[in-house]
A and B are shown apart, each in its own frame.
Chain A
Amino acid sequence: MTLVLHDTWYLMIRALKESIRQPALEIGNVFIPMFFFAVTVGAIGNVAGKAFGVTNYTAFQLPVAVLQAVAGASGTAGLATVGDIERGYFDKLMLTPAPRISLVLGRLAADGVRVMALTILIVVVGLLFGSGMKSGPLGVVVLVAMGGIFGLAYSGLGMALALKTGSAQAAQLGFLIFFPLVFLSPAFAPKAVFSPWLRFLATINPVTYIVQGMRDLVLSGWDPASLAAAFGAIAGLGLFTMTLVLLALRSRTS
């Protein structure tokens, strides 16, 4: 376990250096969530109260911006791994005695750190525009951690596709899958106003619980049941994506 953490740490540092040395690659990841946050609040914020009883739509939308940050970062680990595979560097890493799980966790953890940095930025912007934070400073910490862990877990999908196919296009599929998951959740309006079929889909969609958990931290304060559901959904998703990653990793040597 110590070895896994040791090697994951150094591989994460290496992955983060890539972001620092190629800052242009991060522009989209910062711009897209901020842009949609501003546009959505600007377009719907004034009518949200009358339409579905949400008075502070900035706070209501803040978790959605975090999810979009996750979507943006979700392709990074997979894409970078495709680059490593194409350059032959992934083989070089596979030839070291580093636990194979560390080779992928290093990059996924770097995605988690990127999402955490973006979440902090989103929270700051949200606070400046009046979102507030009912759960206080500790709530910010939990929100940032939740974003980071969700980012790590969700990036596993792109990573699994990258390892299995070695294709950059496939590695970005996680980004495309993310949008239906967000739109089939109460991201833009409360579940109570959904039609029955959409309410059913939202109920079985794990992203619903993650949005709700984050939203409660911002809008309502501490709700242990809501937080447990959110972390449970992230854990379930993470278990699913890590299983895919391990299967894909195994297939590379068979």
Chain B
Amino acid sequence: MPAIVAEALTKHFTPEIRAVDGIDLDIDDGQIFGFLGANGSGKTTTVRMLTTLLRPTSGRAQVAGLDVFSQPGAVRRCIGVALQEVGLDDIQTGRELLQLQARLYGLASSGIAARVQQLLDIVDLADAADRRVKTYSGGMRRRLDLAAALVHRPKVVFLDEPTTGLDPISREAIWRYVRELNTSEGVTFFLTTQYLEEADRLADEVAIMDAGKIVSQGSPADLKSSIGTDVVTLRIDGGPDELKRGEAAVRRMEGIEDVRIVNDAVIVYVADGSAAISRLVLLLDEASLRAREVTLAQPTLDDVFLQKTGHHLEDGSVAPQAEQNALAQSKGHGR
């Protein structure tokens, strides 16, 4: 049985602001699914719909075999959610917060203390368990938030940008917990991220979201091999004019799949990169241009992202108004 299914899932805040524009998902049980996209691409809005926090404009979705919109209570019993904005109560201690969470999920009183202690041990917060949450660092808060999402042993866990803003050690720790839970308990993870490395290292399958639509989907290896070429990056001395001339010059070479200008470089997609480099440099030389740096690489998810969306992931927001709208939905008045 698929863990998550969505058909033509859509959320339009206004006719112009199409945060999510008819996406389809079919995520197998036990997968780690990476939902990759820039700020404002519609990732958070998708998570809010799949976790019953937001009604869609149209479309349908099922989580753990339950209809998200007609059985929201049953869905909430099966899922764990750690949203992008860590949702904690500063006045409680870490232990109290988990205990309350356990009670609200209906865990038997006799088992709550042991389950809470187990989770505190898993996320390395046992020593800080009786301190108020307001004294926790950013990494500790993330870990507590993750523990709160796991208290009732959910089948499906949604993590919305779980490592954004964390230092590398805390990030590694979160990845380790996700992998362990996925392996040992078969928990399905739906993980949104804007970190390519995170998607590459954690996810069994990745969907690339851009401007409210899924533009590509597959395993990280399949997505990278779909490019079918090496990637040669030519950093050229000069400004935008030189870059345009450089692009025109290298396009003359036979066997080139694609050429793009990205920031201060010309990116060339070519089947045999090592054989093409000398010819590319020669073509630049003939155009009176000098490459100050030439690199050859296998395609990364960033290259896939660039090819599918026309921009790098770190280039910034695609539809920031949609994300702001979703944020306003959660913080301010409802619509």
Contacts and interface: CB of A to CB of B under 8 A. Distances in A.
Contact of A89 (B55, B87, B334): B87
A167 B52 contact: no
Interface stretch (B102-110, B120-128, B219-227, B248-256): B102-110
A92 B331 contact: no
Interface string A230-254: 0000000000000000001011111
Contact of B89 (A6, A84, A252): A84
Contacts, number: 95
B83 interface: yes
A96 B87 contact: no
A21 B91 contact: yes
B73 interface: yes
Contacts of B85: 87-88, 91
B104 A166 contact: no
B91 A22 contact: yes
Contact of B333 (A3, A84, A164, A253): A164
A94 interface: yes
Chain B interface size range: 35 or more
B101 interface: yes
A151 B325 CA distance: 35
A158 to B, nearest CB: 15
B81 interface: yes
Best-buried of B52, B76, B86, B103 by chain A (most CB within 10 Å): B103
A63 B86 CA distance: 44
A92 B148 contact: yes
B63 to A, nearest CB: 12
B55 A86 contact: no
B100 A10 contact: yes
A252 B333 CA distance: 7
A92 B87 contact: yes
A96 B88 contact: no
A85 interface: yes
B334 A96 contact: no
B274 interface: no
Contacts of A95: 51-53, 76, 79, 81
B92 A253 contact: no
B91 A94 contact: no
A20 to B, nearest CB: 10
Given A166-B333, A251-B335, A14 B53 contact: no
Nearest to A84: B89
B334 A164 contact: yes
A254 B332 contact: no
B330 A97 contact: no
B138 to A, nearest CB: 14
Given A93-B104, A97-B73, A87 B91 contact: no
B104 A89 contact: no
A228 interface: no
Nearest to A22: B91
Contacts of A250: 334
B56 to A, nearest CB: 10
A96 B105 contact: yes
Nearest to B328: A166
Contacts of A86: 331
Nearest to B106: A97
A7 B102 CA distance: 11
Contacts of B88: 87-89, 92
A85 B91 contact: no
A167 B331 CA distance: 9
A42 B81 CA distance: 57
A193 interface: no
A166 B332 contact: yes
A96 B335 contact: no
B90 interface: yes
12 contacts: A6-B103, A17-B91, A86-B331, A87-B90, A88-B85, A88-B330, A91-B85, A94-B53, A95-B51, A95-B79, A97-B73, A97-B105
Given A94-B53, A97-B104, A253-B55, 6 more contacts: A14-B92, A14-B96, A91-B330, A92-B101, A95-B76, A252-B329
Closest CB pairs A-B (n = 5): A88-B87, A92-B87, A251-B334, A166-B332, A88-B85
